[in-house]
Structure 1
């Protein structure tokens, strides 16, 4: 069955470098790599995203059978995602105009994040095709993880509307599926578990000594890594506070953000100064994807102190490189990390992180056991397997639609 899939990602492009902006992270990697692997399986993928840079061509060939298509909706410039809802009707209309100009017919529409889901609801109705969505993060679950943070009422309302209208919801883990059903109203038949993936060819263990030499990092000191968006929800500040409490004088490598003019990064610099850690904290900014295996291999531990993660891509990539992970006991991280075997899961508190990091860095045998077990623990998350599961879901949805038409 030759399928043509329309993917929607209005607020961030799969071409964006993870960690470079607040909106560029694991979701970008997920969409890009999933599309590439589905394309290898002879599925035609068009990814629609908002056009924000006139220097970027409207159509970028991501891979044979996979394209990224930039759609005009609002100003041809980056804007905050909280301002994007008003442009979702325009986004949907221009996607449909593009489809009609090319004479295409899509079999399934697959939206990512709630804003894309809003636009996709319109298109699924117009085109008469199944709508699959993946929220990646849900406002209600974020609020449960961090009650002090508020989410826009509009987002809460539209996520609930989506849950009641879409044909299928993709959850990255069984835990997320349970939360979608218990807290958000998803149904047993509606929510499917298909994990996120990792590029097992790119993310492989490398010599720690060689990696540190290549990156110019201290060769003899313990190194901890934070990699991701410098969003308070991700908790890079928790890592800095933990480093201050540790008995081991570790160095901290922070990968993400812009080295100049980045408010979040500057706040972390100030915090490092206040904690008297400046000489031991290395801000590298967002790094090219191809460099990340070097970074994971160079450090002793990757630290993921988020309030919540639907999956935890940085944790999976680190384990693929043979590097243990210490992370918050929350969300998908409890599925990815095997506590006491490939890392530690702790409450989101600097003291708990400091205690487990000290333990791991002080016990070379324990660290070696975790490192040896890390990669084999996540082989099931290879992209070929993930894409095959997604393809089967697409095919099932198309068949269900045909049965309904026949009735």
Structure 2
């Protein structure tokens, strides 16, 4: 989500849009205002301790967060034409500020609790989040959904109106995410150049399914290396849990934990892999899948959510039911069929050119224009 906001803001700047990104101040050494480019600022707002806080504890600080945003605006004598909020917590803040400033409000949920719960009923979402997301849907002027499927789900399950939801995909930096030489990439990452590599990249949340990749790898005919990018290399309970599982499955000697890596390193890591595996219960879009395809690496993923829009089944990867056996079978098929693998690799990058940030920003800019025009027409009446 942070990548999305930064990249979208900088791409919108090319359309002469000025963007202020308000976020909670979490680091005492960070300046209050960071200028990303002449048109884009990140503004840190005090709300609670100037330190990281678990997302489940943030709601209590929303009133002071919104109040301090308004005070910052008043000090600068600034005026905004529109609010674009991201995630439900920011959406609640945006809802209050939109009412206070009498301007339109666009939101992008990125993940919706109701849809997560439908995908994984055994993991209930916080009632407060469910309630606030429902309230947001009732009050915002427009919702940007990354896929047609999410638009349909917003209307069918969450009560959004047909005119309220626009479909605009997330983007990928096609200048950064480019194919690298696979053997050279493996050498730099100290991976066996002769043994296939399966990659998982993302949060090590059980919802994302890194454990399913380990279970699938243990069932495969091919003894592939497994690279897991995410989490911390020390004191991380999710990493420890996966390490324990790898030992139980007797595959720990070929599982490599790299921890969370800087974004600039990810093209090298995607290029080192034969296949990127995305075994989530649900993905609104599937940014890791898009980045992987941009680097020429096929993807095997759960047949769910935005992944069905990103991956062309049988052409750039496979979409399978969320079951270790299905993943194992498709991964073995790819690794044992060189011609098929070469075809998918060759098709991968072209399949995601439509997700360039320039294209995404143009579509978002059009939505902003339409909403502002609608608001002006209402005032004129």
Q: Do Structure 1 and Structure 2 share a fold, with TM-score over 0.5? A: yes
Which residue of structure 2 lines up, in the alignment, with residue 35 of structure 1? 9
The Cα of 1:103 is off from its aligned counterpart by 1.1
Matched, 1:187 2:161: yes
Match of 2:18 among 44, 48, 52: 44
Provide the rounded CA distance (Å) in 2 between the counterparts of 1:335 and 1:384: 19
Matched, 1:295 2:269: yes
The Cα of 1:396 is off from its aligned counterpart by 1.1
Which residue of structure 2 lines up, in the alignment, with residue 87 of structure 1? 61
Match of 1:136 among 80, 102, 110: 110
Match of 1:200 among 174, 195, 210: 174
SS at match of 2:212: helix
Provide the rounded CA distance (Å) in 1 between the counterparts of 2:174 and 2:284: 20
Matched, 1:353 2:327: yes
| Aligned-residue CA RMSD (Å) | 0.7
Provide the rounded CA distance (Å) in 1 between the counterparts of 2:157 and 2:326: 28
Provide the rounded CA distance (Å) in 1 between the counterparts of 2:38 and 2:214: 43
Which residue of structure 1 lines up, in the alignment, with residue 238 of structure 2? 264
Provide the rounded CA distance (Å) in 2 between the counterparts of 1:74 and 1:46: 21
Task: After the TM superposition, list the runs of 4 or more consecutive aligned residues in structure 1 that deviate by more than 6 angstroms.
Answer: none
> Aligned ranges for residues 237-276 of structure 1 at < 5 Å?
237-276=211-250
Provide the rounded CA distance (Å) in 2 between the counterparts of 1:398 and 1:166: 13
Aligned residues: 381
What TM-score do you get using the length of structure 1 for normalisation? 0.93
Which residue of structure 1 lines up, in the alignment, with residue 369 of structure 2? 395
Q: Which runs of 5 or more structure 1 residues have no equivalent in the other structure?
A: 1-26
The Cα of 1:133 is off from its aligned counterpart by 0.3
Which residue of structure 1 lines up, in the alignment, with residue 137 of structure 2? 163
1:183-206 alpha-carbon deviations (Å, 9 max, x no partner): 111110000001000000001111
Provide the rounded CA distance (Å) in 1 between the counterparts of 2:354 and 2:51: 39
Match of 2:46 among 72, 81, 88: 72
Which residue of structure 2 lines up, in the alignment, with residue 330 of structure 1? 304
SS at match of 1:331: coil
Provide the rounded CA distance (Å) in 2 between the counterparts of 1:54 and 1:263: 27
The Cα of 1:63 is off from its aligned counterpart by 2.1
Match of 1:226 among 184, 189, 200: 200
Provide the rounded CA distance (Å) in 1 between the counterparts of 2:327 and 2:142: 37
Provide the rounded CA distance (Å) in 1 between the counterparts of 2:245 and 2:377: 59
